[in-house]
Amino acid sequence: MIPRPEPSRREFGEGGHPRPTIVRGDGASLWDDRGRRFVDLGATHGVGNLGASPPAVVRAIQEQAARLIHLGSGYASPVRTEFLEKLLGLLPPSFGRVFLANSGTEAVEAAIKIARSSTGRPKVVAAMRGFHGRTLGALSATWRRELREPFLPLVPEFVHVPFNDPAALDAAVDERTALVLLEPVQGEGGVHVATAEYLRAARAAADRSGAVLTFDEVQTGLGRTGRLFAFEHARVVPDVLVLSKSLAGGVPIGATVTTPEIESRFRGSHHSTFGGNPLACAAGLAALDLVVRERLAERAEKLGRVAFDRFRSLPPERVREVRGLGLMIGIELREKVAPVLAALEANGFLAIPAGATVLRLLPPLVIDAADWDRGLAAISEAIGGG
Ligand SMILES: *Cc1c(COP(=O)(O)O)cnc(C)c1O
């Protein structure tokens, strides 16, 4: 067994919860230090869409590491160019500019700066229950009070409107609004799917007022919801798209994608030392290839449908609602989710919560159909649906 750190020495803010010690992964399987296998139904918090250590990404990292690990962004890099071309090639033609960072939060920060600078306006309209990260700018757009309160004051001029209420959104967006920031499916906030009507209203409000419409697809992007990007469901194209989590197959990366037109109005500068480093770009290139070649978005839609069919028989006295799109699924219980998570873990399945009462499923899109089936059966059993 791997020794655990001394209790007096541990990571900052780690609650000391007894969690399994994970030492290895393959596809949707994770093994602990005693050789026990778990099926990961949480895709390591939405990062592992392609599984734990996708071989094509591993090879790309190994080859790039041997060639060149880091390069300042002031120099041209073939792998960065190739990655950006590949990414933009998967997006509508209106997009033509990408800022690369190292995390979702940083990519959101860039979106906030791009919107404020390019419009010369201060106000940001975000949604209740939204999650956009934890640095002070991104945290100002995040809704949950417990995450915000210890760090007040946050950045001024952020307002939150009820999610899926087109009229409230429209009323909040005015000529002082720089940015309308939404998740097409709210992840951390409990897996709430935006209606097409809501996203269309956001598009119209931004067009009317001159605000920058930004979709935070850090969790929903790259095939998770059954389309390559979640905005494709409603066919509403934003001005800025924020990506991260699974974009480089598990290597830290964040991307803020926007239009040449918005770039032309941007004043000031924005930069990151590690953003767009060759290692992340090589991993990202391999990851994008894999998502497209293996048609993982279609797979997410298909396996998602299997789950929704199955969950129809969950008992209404335990389950309030099942929500989601593709392989991004939330089961809202009428009770706390923690005991269900513990029961699943004891059975060899790792899942994650979204708030106190929602069981969140974000399995790797490459999960074996048989593992998925067994996982769904284990969930039904843990919830009490037989
Ligand atoms: C995870 C997440 C973030 C933050 O990403 P980090 O990489 O943890 O900084 C932002 N937005 C959404 C929608 C997320 O799911």
Show the tokens assigned to 231.
């905005």
Fold designation for 55-293? Aspartate Aminotransferase; domain 2 (3.40.640)
Atom of ligand 1 nearest to the CA of 130: 13
Q: Which of 44, 100, 132 is the pocket-test mutation for ligand 1 (most atoms within 8 Å of CB)?
A: 132
Is the beta carbon of 258 within 6 A of some atom in ligand 1? Answer: no
In the chain, domain spans? 22-45+295-383, 55-293
Q: Show which residues are catalytic.
A: 131, 216, 245
Strand-pairing partners, residue 322, are 331
Is the beta carbon of 256 within 6 A of some atom in ligand 1? Answer: no
Residue 2 has pLDDT above 80, yes or no: no
Is the beta carbon of 217 within 6 A of some atom in ligand 1? Answer: no
Residue 1 has pLDDT above 60, yes or no: no
Q: Cα–Cα distance between 113 and 110 in angstroms, integer?
A: 5
Per residue in 291-338, pLDDT (tens digit) is 999 999 999 999 999 999 999 999 999 999 999 999 999 999 999 999
Per residue in 111-150, pLDDT (tens digit) is 999 999 999 999 999 999 999 999 999 999 999 999 999 9
Calculate how far, in angstroms, residue 217's C-alpha sits from the geometric centre of ligand 1: 9
Tell me the residue ranges of DSSP E strands in 61-188.
97-101, 123-127, 158-161, 177-182, 185-186
Calculate how far, in angstroms, residue 44's C-alpha sits from the geometric centre of ligand 1: 13
Is the beta carbon of 48 within 6 A of some atom in ligand 1? Answer: no
Per residue in 203-212, pLDDT (tens digit) is 999 999 999 9
CB 325 within 8 A of CB 226: yes
Atom of ligand 1 nearest to the CA of 187: 15
Per residue in 343-370, pLDDT (tens digit) is 999 999 999 999 999 999 999 999 999 9
Record the pTM. 0.96
Atom of ligand 1 nearest to the CA of 242: 11
Output the pLDDT for position 4. Answer: 65
Q: In the Cβ-directed half-sphere of 124, how many Cα atoms lie within 13 Å?
A: 30
Strand-pairing partners, residue 40, are 350
CATH architecture type of domain 22-45+295-383: Alpha-Beta Complex (3.90)
Calculate how far, in angstroms, residue 155's C-alpha sits from the geometric centre of ligand 1: 18
Tell me the residue ranges of DSSP E strands in 34-87.
37-40
Q: Chain-wide mean pLDDT for the chain?
A: 96
Is the beta carbon of 278 within 6 A of some atom in ligand 1? Answer: no
